[in-house]
Structure 1
């Protein structure tokens, strides 16, 4: 006779202590919290989000871009309609279907010469980071070097993968090559293996710092001497205020030390969620087997996202075709917009905080040469409590900096982003910010940081 009895054990939830430790890390809550605050105070002027400008695109552009790509397949490659249909509607090549267009574009824009087979097309740059970190970091001793403050996406990815991280204090010009060499020595002395350095050489998120050209050459020399790979992430490289174009590390690389992580989120449209990896390093195996690192990354991608959506690639592919694979020229309007916005932000801060107030309040900020972000130091704890008061009472949002540091620093710093505003909103937002900072400094003059 069948047992028809039901269990008397009551349903229970999952114990957070039995889930991965990263889920209790405040870092993983940081972006969700900012989104939640922005939704609650939707009327506030937001210097928090690093969203690209939407003004250069209209919804109907998407259909045109897909058509430009399919026309390219038919006209330039001689594909049949059935082949084009399969390209758009099926899974497609794991490493991507616009790899040849990307290879042409990075050569035209950055002087980077890699074979199309070295390109892995990813679901945004975040997947690119995860794939590269998973492939490179094989033992508990393998350690990732990161300048601090650092983009939370890479530190979060490292924590999800249980990768050891060693921070390097960032100077006004980004990480110093001598400091990188010293950090590698510290890791080895502690029994670890310094495997790679992650850096954003141009207008970094969150600090806005840029690495001088001579330091880029020295960084490559340190990488060779210390047997380090360089993970170069350069989403803001086009957006200089001065028009100066500094060479990417990958364009200077002669020893294949640099793995370049790219994204079309800032130079095209973030909604497509298309990024890429330039991974032309040779991988050696048993029996003199040789492959490209791109091929090894493909194996990991096949077990994560399977491939990058063909329709998203078609949108970006159409943009590349229309621009003649010259995105820097196609971004001329956006480059001018972002440069004007950073000028407006710095100018508004100068007007709202004249010299006597700077000295009295102890406020300061850097002056990035481009990009989206500016770093500001204030005389109080710039934490979530202060952010909520700023939004609720003064109608202005910003980003606390403490989550970007690996060593508990940054408690009296905040990040301002000017990418998604116009100069008029920037001016009004800075006036509100000045009122908040002045009032907060007076309300909590002796409040300890943290």
Structure 2
């Protein structure tokens, strides 16, 4: 007999306190709140989301990429039609079906040379983070060090898995290697086990900061010295505004300290939901048997998403084949677009807030060398209340920086993303933002 609620009775509610503790963590509320504000003010110009531009997307491209991938299997690999059908329509290999194409692209674009078997294809980079954290963090004292401010996706994933977090304050050049060394030793002194550092070395979300090559080399030296792994997230590395692209940590890695997390959301199309992790570390079993860490991640994936969508992988696979597995070249127009947008944003901020006005108001911002984001310092608390007013009264949205700090901070900072806007909208949006900041600053003085 099924459960029946008495007429007029209210169904018994679940107590939030009986659910996982992470569900009351502000980190998990941050994205939902922002999405809710965006939906309530659809006419506002939004500097909030870090999503890619849709300008180059065409629905017909999807069918073409599928056809290119199918032809690749049939003509280049010599597969019969039945095998192609199975590849596209069935569950498929847990670690992915385009791992070989990803490995070739990483070699061409980044100078990262790993066997295809070291590539785990995931359902977006978020799954890559979850698989990696679940496999690496085995003990209660295992601690994840994160650059602070930090992308909420990694801190939220750590909360879901009950992983201890320790922030490492970020400077203008990203995380300071010496600050990391101090954090590692302080963690050990407190009884913790520093297991890995999560870092976005190029144009980080949310700060836009990038590490120098010297800092990258020092970071790798410390990782080897302190038996620390590095989780390198690299979604924005292609999108250089000034100077030349720097080598990834994985390209510099000689001791297999780095797990390289990637995604095609920014460099191809986010709707495919295809990411990956390079896990070429060797794992030794109790009887001396050897495998790659990628094989161990496969076990975790088999109990979560089972496998990444074959259709989504095929679309990305066709794009990679069509580009000759040289995705950086294929992104030439996107790189130029994002460079122009970031230059426009910086130029409009300068136009509305020239040096004398900046000093009078107490306003400033950083000038990233690329990517999607920059941070504006303001003379008032830039929290949810201010964001509501900015959206409702001035028609402009942004992201509070305080959401990205684990150890407090960012209360008087806001993040701007210019990736999804047309240049004209950026100009109009900065004008609205300038009016909001000016009025809010004046009220803060009274």
Q: Same fold by TM (over 0.5)? A: yes
For the residues of structure 1 that align with 2:10 and 2:377, how far apart are their CA atoms? 52
- 1:114 paired to 2:140: no
CA contact (8 A) 1:380 1:445 kept: no
- 1:199 paired to 2:199: yes
- 1:249 paired to 2:249: yes
**Deviation readout 1:378-420 (Å, 9 max, x if unpaired):** 0001011100100111110000011100012111100000001
Q: Please, which moves more after superposition, 294-303 or 49-58?
A: 49-58
CA contact (8 A) 1:234 1:262 kept: yes
Q: Which runs of 5+ in 1 are unaligned?
A: none
Aligned partner of residue 371 in structure 1, secondary structure = coil
CA contact (8 A) 1:241 1:339 kept: yes
- 1:325 paired to 2:325: yes
**Deviation readout 1:52-102 (Å, 9 max, x if unpaired):** 011112011100000000000000110111111100100000000000000
- 1:372 paired to 2:372: yes
Q: Which residue of 1 aligns with 2:428?
A: 428
CA contact (8 A) 1:259 1:279 kept: yes
Cα distance change on mapping 1:4 and 1:146 into 2, 3 Å: closer
Q: Which residue of 1 aligns with 2:340?
A: 340
Aligned partner of residue 308 in structure 2, secondary structure = coil
Shift of 1:4: 12
Q: Which residue of 2 aligns with 1:259?
A: 259
Pairing of 1:67-78 with structure 2 (within 5 A): 67-78=67-78
CA contact (8 A) 2:194 2:228 kept: yes
Aligned partner of residue 59 in structure 2, secondary structure = coil
**Deviation readout 1:141-197 (Å, 9 max, x if unpaired):** 000000100000000000000000000110000001111110000000000000000
For the residues of structure 2 that align with 1:56 and 1:73, how far apart are their CA atoms? 26
Q: Which residue of 1 aligns with 2:136?
A: 136
Q: How many residues align?
A: 444
CA-atom RMSD, angstroms?
Answer: 1.4
TM-score by length of 2: 0.98
For the residues of structure 2 that align with 1:363 and 1:11, how far apart are their CA atoms? 52
Aligned partner of residue 11 in structure 2, secondary structure = coil
Cα distance change on mapping 1:14 and 1:337 into 2, 3 Å: same
Shift of 1:444: 2.5
For the residues of structure 2 that align with 1:220 and 1:337, how far apart are their CA atoms? 33
For the residues of structure 2 that align with 1:143 and 1:196, how far apart are their CA atoms? 7
Q: Please, which moves more after superposition, 422-431 or 105-114?
A: 422-431
Q: Which residue of 2 aligns with 1:98?
A: 98
Pairing of 1:43-442 with structure 2 (within 5 A): 43-442=43-442
Aligned partner of residue 196 in structure 1, secondary structure = strand
For the residues of structure 1 that align with 2:274 and 2:39, how far apart are their CA atoms? 26
**Runs of at least 4 residues of structure 1 off by over 6 A?**
3-10
**Deviation readout 1:269-290 (Å, 9 max, x if unpaired):** 0000000000000001111111
Aligned partner of residue 280 in structure 1, secondary structure = coil
